Amino acid sequence: MSKLLSIGSPSLVADLVGQNEKLSISQASLADGASLSGVELLYLNGFELSGQELVKAGLIAQAFEKGIPVLYEMSDPDAMAQVSAFTCNARLVLLQPLKSRRASYISILDPHGMQQIGFTQEETRLFMHAKSPKGGAASRKTFTPAYADYESSAPVYRVASNPGALARLVRTHLDKFSEVDQFVGTTSFFASGSNNLPEHAKREGYVDLGPHSWTPDSKNAPGCQGQLNVNFMYGLYSVTSPNYKYLEIQTVGTGCSITGSPQPNDWDSGYYQEQIEVSYGPSSSTLPSGSAIDKTAPLNAVNSSSVAATTGFSLGVSGGGDSSGPEASVSATYDSSKTTTINLTDWAVINQSPPTQGNWKFNMNTASDGKPYTVGSPGSLVWTGFLQFGVRGTPVLSRNNNMPTNETVWRFPNNCTDTLPFSFNITQHIARCQITWSNGFTYTTNTPKNAIWCGIQASFNLGTVKPTP
């Protein structure tokens, strides 16, 4: 049974819990020094608690660190700005950190629906640490990206007037989110153990594509947009056991999604994601002499409920030493207990990495009823029977956030000082299947397909890290 902790009287949450036998509730006050141990959802009643009190208590920041969603009922439309760097004109928000990456969603909820906004890793870090009471309001206001501002078209000022509708929406959304929050098994930004390495032996950072929005090419979907928020995290390490330099790259961010898609029905699938392509690696087709890809993940998987999406690359340091550390020895291993697993229900992953590149296709491979689906053929959603036909539904990952988590590790000779230009690419493919009646019991299908490509270049100077002198 899941545990919900309520800080303040559980006005809305009491109704939520009453309708969900799988959710137990406990109450605490800020004065109690509330513990989040074992808590799976935190509710904050903003009518009874001021923003200043919440900031001082640090509960939201603690929840984000632990990957715990926060349901925040606000006393007025500006209350959110008091506890974070985010502003919105709404009454109820659900703050959702992705469990093993410091990326997050802000979901604005009302009885009629939900608006979801994604934050990258770096933005989430700023979002969390912008709430320090020492920084004051000015510090919290310094981070308010334009796309994070939200002006609700239907602000929720009367939560109590329809608590049942809101409770059902929250419960449904939490259930759905648990299916698409794919990250389990790791809490480290970079390679496990990298915090213990000498400074001269590592360089870590991000290649930032930034968020992208685009509109599918159809006059029948006003307001529909594809969303891409996938970036790349890298770690360059000089290792003495074995004697190599390693470059580790992972995808990070909040993933790919669709907003404003027409609602599906028996004759129209609405827009959905059918494929996400990710590739990155040296711009040249060759690597320096003695270099190679050491490992990639995930490996090919078809009809598998989950796959290991990272390699478990792990680093260790032994002996004494500081930044110049002549006694320090750095080792590299692969530890299966440190891998990240992603849920691929109704999707498949194809690892098509050539000798120098990390390259994957994440494909929708079944409809929601389990029938096979062919990427590039939205008409494969159509079902037929005796004097009847219709359109099958699409999987959760095709309509919600889908993060193409993967990792590649290259190895280079430890005396290599080359500067390597790398290219990073991601493509989101969106499709739609519509049935149009023709004569009698015949039909035609409209199956537009759309895609967007985003790319960026970055260089890695292998000479910036060196083995122990």
Which residue bears the tokens 């303040």? 8
Is 72 strand, coil or helix?
Answer: strand
The confidence score (pLDDT) of residue 88 equals 63
Number of H helices, E strands in the chain: 8, 28
Angle, alpha carbons 317-321-327 (nearest 5°): 75
Q: Show Cβ contacts of residue 74 under 8 Å, excluding neighbours closer than 6 positions.
A: 46, 80, 90, 91, 92, 93
CA distance 310 to 400: 22
Q: Render the burial of 353-364: b for 16+ CB within 10 Å, e for the rest.
A: beebbbbbbbbb
Q: What is the pLDDT of residue 147?
A: 34
Mean pLDDT along residues 290-294: 94
Give tens-digit pLDDT for 95-109. 777 654 555 666 665
- The sign one gets for the Cα dihedral 131, 132, 134, 139 is negative
In a 3-state reduction of DSSP, which class is residue 453?
strand
The pTM (predicted TM-score) of the whole model is 0.67
Q: To which residue do tokens 């990456």 refer?
A: 101
**pLDDT tens-place string over residues 226-280:** 888 888 889 999 998 899 999 999 987 768 888 777 888 888 898 999 999 999 9
Cα 297 to Cα 420, 440, 462: the distances in Å are 22, 51, 23
Q: Burial level of 285, CB count in 10 A (0-12/13-18/19+)?
A: exposed
